[in-house]
Amino acid sequence: MINLYSTQIESISLHRVGNKNKSEGIFLSEEPFSLNDETTGLLKEYFFKPFREKEENYFKLANEVDVEFNELHKIASEIFADSSSAHLNSKKIATHLFEQSNHPHIKNGEVYVGYLTGLLLDNVKVDAIGIFKSELKHDFLQFEETGNNLNILVQQGININKLDKGCLIFNVDREEGYKVLSVDSNRYDAKYWLENFLGAEPLSDDNFKTKNYLKFCQNFAKDVVLPAEDKQQEVLFMNRAVNHFAKNDEFEESSFLTEVMENPELIPEFKHYKVEKGPKYSIEDVSNFDIANKAVSDARKKIKNVISLDTNIQIKMDFINPESAEKFVEKGWDEERQMYYYLVYFNKEQKS
C-alpha cells in the first residue's frame, strides 16, 4: 500500500509534447520550474489524487529481451543514481514520450516530471519519479473591469481535478523493472501510455494474484456453478470464496477447494476450468501465495449478492457468514403454479 500524505516534490520540470503524426513539435524547458507553497499544494493534489482513489494495480518496466533495454528504465536508473540529473533526464523522458506520440488520436499536452521523496510504500519511505501529462483543455471564464463595466474573458486551461495520465516509478526492485503505478483517464489511446511509453506489464505480486484469483472464481461461479446448480449457489460459492480469503493469511488451493466447494463433483470442473481460463488471469501456475487483504476488501465490494427473478423481484443476500443464506433462504418448486419459489425466514422487518 502507498501513503502519499508526506510526499515532497523536490523538483519539477515542465515540457510540452505534440503529436508527430500532425507535425506538432516538442518544447523542452531550459530550467526546472520554481515551486512555491501555492503551486506545490495545487500540484500535489492534481498529481496524487487519482492514485489515492484508484485500486493499487502495480506494474513493472519490461522489455522482451531484458529490462535494461527499456528506455524509461535506463532514464529512471540515471535519475535515482543522481537526483541532481532529474531535469536533464526529464528532457529525455519528454523526448521518449514524443517519439511514441504518432497515432492520430493522441493529443498534445504538458508533461511534468517530478523527483519525489517521502512516499510510504508498504510502510517504508522511498523516493519516486512522477511523470504526468495533461491533455484535455477546458473553457473557463475570467472577469475584467473595464471602466464601469465587468467583461467576460473566455480562456482555456486544464482541470486540476482530473489528471489525464500519470505514473509513479518507485525506487525499489530495480533489477525486476522497478515498482510502478499508472493512471490513464482517457480511453482513446489505450496502448500509448502504458505499453508504448512505459513499456510496462502487470507485476505478479500478492495483490495481483489475490485479485486475479478472485476474478477467476467469480467467472467460474457464473460459467460453471450457475448452469450446474442455480443463482443462489452461485452467490453462496462466491461468499464462501471471499470469506476463505478474508480469514486466511496464506492461500493454498487444495484447502480452498475443500472448504469452499460444497459439491465435490465441481472440483474436477474447477481444475479443468483453470487449465482453460487460467492464462487469461495469469493464474494457471498459481496455487500458493500470501493473501493481500486490500484486494479481498476491494473484491467484496464488487461482488453482487443479488438474485434477480423474472417476476421483477430481487433477493439480496448480504451475509458475512454464507451459511446464513442456506439457513434462512430455501428454494422449491410449486406443482400447482408450475413455478419455482424462494422461502425466506426472518424474525422482523428492519426499518429502512
The mean predicted confidence, pLDDT, of the chain is: 89
The pLDDT of residue 330 is: 78
In tens, the pLDDT along 21-67 reads 888 999 999 999 999 999 999 999 999 999 988 777 899 999 988 99
Asked if residue 189 has pLDDT above 80, the reply is: no
115 vs 329, higher pLDDT:
115
The pLDDT of residue 352 is: 62
Residue 147's CB: how many other CB atoms inside 10 A? 6
What are the C-alpha distances in Å from 198 to residues 13, 43, 71, 74?
18, 22, 8, 12
Give the confidence band of 291 by pLDDT, cuts at 50, 70, 90. Answer: very high
The pLDDT of residue 97 is: 96
Q: Considering the entire predicted model, what is its pTM? A: 0.77
Judge whether 240 and 258 are in contact, CB under 8 Å.
Answer: no
Average pLDDT over residues 152-181: 92
Asked if residue 321 has pLDDT above 90, the reply is: no
Distance CA 132, CA 115 (A): 12
In tens, the pLDDT along 261-278 reads 988 889 999 999 999 999
The pLDDT of residue 318 is: 63
Average pLDDT over residues 318-329: 65
Asked if residue 322 has pLDDT above 60, the reply is: no
Domains of the chain, residue spans: 2-203, 207-344
Distance CA 262, CA 3 (A): 40
In tens, the pLDDT along 58-94 reads 999 999 889 999 999 999 999 999 999 999 999 999 9
Distance CA 30, CA 20 (A): 21
Site of grid cell 467469480: 218
Residue 175's CB: how many other CB atoms inside 10 A? 7
In tens, the pLDDT along 93-124 reads 999 999 999 888 889 999 999 999 999 998 89
Judge whether 297 and 307 are in contact, CB under 8 Å.
Answer: no
Q: Write phi, then psi, for 232 (nearest 5 degrees).
A: -60, -45
The pLDDT of residue 323 is: 61
